[in-house]
Structure 1
Amino acid sequence: MARTTGSDGARTEEAIREAAVALIAARGFEATTLREIADKVGVQPGTIYRYFPSKAQLLVALLVEHLEYLLESWSTAQPRTDDPVERLRAFVAFHIRSHTLRRREAFVANMELRSLSPADRARVVALRRRYEDLLTGILRDGIARGAFRLPDARIATFAILAMLTGVGAWYREGGRLDKHALIDTYTRLTLQCAGAESAPPAAAARTTRRQALALAKTTA
């Protein structure tokens, strides 16, 4: 049977991706079957093969999509300034907003890299490295300008990303902290980690609002 084309095909593919993310996030890749994904979408298992040659390729598509989303969204959301402190503030706000908005996608991308073949893992790791390099570039620029006091920008990158990404594991809307307070807290922690003095609150507020608007456009 020919693959569905047009808007119906796009909707089916998106439904398959969403179902796969939900099931893999809840049960893990190995424990999730294509039949379960098909049942959740309401299609026959064979339908999935029209879009993804295998369960492994479906996982690759999910991880690639998430990382490309981060890269493309940041290219739009990043502030128009060369101030490394403001850029770091913006990156923290962007990372937290995107990872709380796409909690399951982020979880799968971080936990299921181990399930990929060596070739597929290399492809995904290359994309992840590009995203990591964005933060490393900000930190190195800040070190060069005297704004940050860090012995190793690359190690700091791994430490900061681990801290920020971990938000998705515990943060829930409606809890003690709202999103703005969460971002403010983690921004302060990140600046302390970088050895930077806090930027003026007004600048931080402008950055947070700009990131929120840019991120909303990319997910509309």
Structure 2
Amino acid sequence: MTSRPAQRRTRKPPEERRAEIVETAARIALAEGLELITLRRVADELGVRPGLISHYFPVADDLVCEAFTLAASEERAALLPADEEDLPPVDRLARFLVGLADGDHLDLSRLWLNARHLSRFRASLRQAVRTQESTMRGALVSLIDDGVEAGQFTTDDPMKEALHILVAVDGLGAYANDDPDPDAPDVTDVAVETAETRLGLPRGTLRARAAAREQVRPSP
């Protein structure tokens, strides 16, 4: 009886392995929190030795920062998809804010809340949070600029309006860990209504536009 030759383990290219580590850490962060990202935990998830993780990330905080950055970047891409840049700005803004209001990105809201809390004690994470805040702010300012140019929004200070909207978004995110309370005031649309007020849109515009987009969206 001929024995089967042993299979050789294929070593992944460094770039691929590093990306895999960060993606795994980002999944842990979204599901359980940034505090649960350790070299051993990531190694267990990937079925490798912790030494392999420390080879790419000698300092665990560096992995935490990259995991947060990846998750935040993917959030931005999901809320403001590049392949929808040709849509009317009001529709893009509706997708962004209504999706957040309806809890479609609740895990990411929790991650932002988690990151801001931990950044008080970790300078590297604080810088990562600031960088992602700046990038999101820039994306929203650009969207508002497009809306003004298209005659859909009314403002002479897109940066100021973006700040007001994002503060409302962050305020909504502060409730991300709360269980529903039927006796508490409904703050679901605080960011939606803030945007409508600041950009000169009639009340209910953004939800109506979001609903219209869903009706014409092709089925998967």
Instruction: Provide TM-score, normalisation by structure 1.
Output: 0.62
Asked if residue 159 in structure 1 is aligned to residue 164 in structure 2, the reply is: yes
Q: 1:93 to 1:11 in 2, by over 3 A?
A: same
Asked if 1 retains the 8 angstrom alpha-carbon contact of 2:109 and 2:173, the reply is yes
Are the structure 2 counterparts of residues 162 and 210 from structure 1 closer, same or farther at C-alpha, using a change threshold of 3 Å? farther
Q: Which of 1 and 2 has higher RCO (CA within 8 Å, sep 6+)? A: 1
Q: Structure 1 residues 46, 36: closer, same or farther in 2, change over 3 A?
A: closer
1:110 Cα deviation (Å)? 3.7
CA deviations on 1:4-34 (whole Å, 9 max, x unpaired) are 7599998776554444563536xxxxxx784
How far apart are 1:61 and its partner, in Å? 0.9
Query: Which of these residues, 104, 107, 111, is aligned with residue 105 of structure 1?
Result: 111
Q: Indicate the SS of the match to 1:195.
A: coil
In structure 2, how many angstroms separate the alpha carbons of the residues matched to 1:54 and 1:141? 42
Percent identical across equivalent pairs? 19
Residue type at the aligned position of 2:136: Y
Q: What runs of 5+ residues in structure 1 fail to find an aligned partner? A: 26-31
Contact 1:92–1:187, Cα closer than 8 Å, also in 2:
yes
Q: Partners in 1 of 2:170 and 2:95 — Cα distance?
A: 15
Q: Distance in 1 between the 2:109 and 2:149 partners?
A: 34
Residues paired across the two proteins, number = 201
- Residue 194 (structure 2) aligns with: 189
- Asked if structure 2 preserves the Cα contact closer than 8 Å seen for 1:66 and 1:109, the reply is no
Q: Tell me, which stretches of 5 or more residues in structure 2 are unaligned?
A: 1-8
Asked if the contact 1:148–1:194 (Cα under 8 Å) also holds between the matched residues in 2, the reply is: yes
Instruction: Output one character per residue of 1:62-97: Cα deviation in whole Å (capped at 9) or x when no partner.
Output: 222023212332225747422x33332122124444
CA distance in 1, matches of 2:22, 2:135: 27
Please state which structure has a larger fraction of its residues in helix: 1
- 1:175–1:86 Cα change, 3 Å: same
Q: Which residue of 2 aligns with 1:135?
A: 140
Change in 2 beyond 3 A, CA 1:125/1:116 = same
Partner of 1:69, secondary structure, is helix
What is the CA–CA distance in structure 1 between the aligned matches of 2:98 and 2:42, rounded to whole Å?
Answer: 36
Equivalent residue, structure 2, for 1:29: none
